[in-house]
């Protein structure tokens, strides 16, 4: 059964809820990365090897991973506190400066492990290559206890806890068990190999591949298969809600275990999907704080993702851009209730 978006959301309702954002504090815990972009032009092939020669024009740095999730929350008007870890190096200092410039409150535990950096080389709006510099080491028991102390100090001010798990060592089963003790709503952007960590949480937001790998399903060909995977995830993890993002096909929302919806993609132009999952998780969590409605919050996060994938690089949106985008696209937008 399909129904128009106007039956669920309208611009006045969204504006009213947006005004409540500054009073809502989100606690983000997870792996922070430094996203490094090198922009240039390609006019020739190297005489040394059959590869393009990039003439560098510009380079930029952004907080990635949990940093990007936090930035998405902050830029649209929410309040956020980020807990993560960096190396004792220049790249770690760069991340600290980026967060300070964006007025994001944070605690970055300094480890004897290099800060993770992802360098993307872009020419003519196309990513040519990505270079990853990382050394993954799980938190030691001592480091875990230090992180727990900070969580304990900050947990009471948080409306919602967001876990951004990139599998880089910060999120452990012990840390997840500790977070669950506080009886707060926990939203997780998951890593497939850590699915067993996330039992009994409020909501997961995996993409299709993460959902497939997390439940070890093969031969996925249709939306029906995705729904089957979603039900298995909910039964396995005993989570209350689930959002599986499908890229160009939008997202499937499992609300309160009993209702299933398909929300189509709203993206007009897709230039870069980098960080789109961070946007969905962050914006969903923030809007949930003011609406307390999973479907509404998922729709808002879907619209936000539709904006950021139209930009090159790790991107966010703000309230003004969101309202403009929503006004231009909501009238012919339909949500399908599958079950």
209 is written with which tokens? 């591949």
Residue 32 · residue 64 · CB < 8 Å: yes
Residues 6+ apart with CB under 8 A from 39: 56, 57, 58, 59, 60, 122, 123
Sign of CA dihedral 224, 228, 230, 234: positive
Helices (H), 43-172: 66-75, 90-101, 141-154
79 has catalytic annotation: no
Per annotation, catalytic residue among 35, 272, 278, 293: 278
| 86 vs 95: CA distance, rounded Å | 8
Closest CA to 35 of 218, 274, 232: 274
Residue 282 · residue 300 · CB < 8 Å: no
Question: Residue 205: helix, strand or coil by DSSP?
Answer: coil
User: Among all residues, which ones are annotated catalytic?
Assistant: 278
């Amino acid at each position: 059964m399909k129904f128009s978006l106007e039956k669920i959301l309208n611009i006045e309702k969204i504006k009213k809820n947006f005004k409540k954002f500054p009073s809502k504090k989100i606690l983000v815990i997870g792996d922070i990365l430094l996203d490094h972009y090198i922009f240039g032009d390609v006019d020739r092939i190297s005489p040394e090897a059959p590869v393009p020669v990039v003439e560098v024009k510009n380079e930029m740095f952004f907080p990635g991973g949990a940093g990007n999730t936090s930035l998405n929350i902050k830029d649209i008007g929410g309040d956020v506190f980020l807990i993560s870890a960096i190396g004792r190096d220049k790249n770690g200092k760069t991340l600290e400066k980026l967060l300070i410039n964006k007025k994001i409150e944070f605690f970055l535990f300094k480890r004897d492990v290099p800060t993770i950096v992802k360098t993307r080389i872009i020419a003519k709006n196309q990513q040519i290559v990505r270079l990853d510099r990382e050394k993954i080491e799980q938190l030691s028991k001592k480091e875990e206890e230090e992180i727990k102390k900070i969580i304990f100090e900050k947990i009471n001010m948080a409306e919602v806890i967001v876990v951004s798990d990139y599998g880089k060592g910060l999120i452990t089963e012990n840390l997840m068990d500790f977070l669950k003790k506080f009886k707060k709503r926990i939203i997780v952007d998951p890593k497939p190999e850590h699915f067993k960590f996330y039992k009994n949480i409020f909501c997961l937001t995996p993409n299709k591949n993460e959902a497939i790998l997390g439940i070890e399903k093969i031969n996925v060909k249709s939306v029906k298969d995705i729904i089957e995977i979603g039900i298995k995830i909910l039964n396995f993890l005993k989570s209350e809600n689930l959002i599986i993002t499908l890229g160009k096909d939008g997202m499937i929302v499992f609300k309160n275990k009993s209702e299933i919806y398909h929300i189509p993609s709203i993206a007009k132009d897709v230039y870069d999907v980098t960080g789109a999952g961070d946007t969905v998780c962050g914006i969903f969590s923030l809007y949930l704080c003011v609406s307390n409605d999973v479907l509404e919050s998922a729709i808002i996060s879907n619209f936000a993702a539709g904006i950021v994938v139209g930009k090159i690089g790790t991107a966010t949106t703000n309230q003004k851009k969101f309202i403009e985008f929503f006004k231009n696209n909501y009238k012919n937008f339909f949500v399908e209730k599958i079950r």
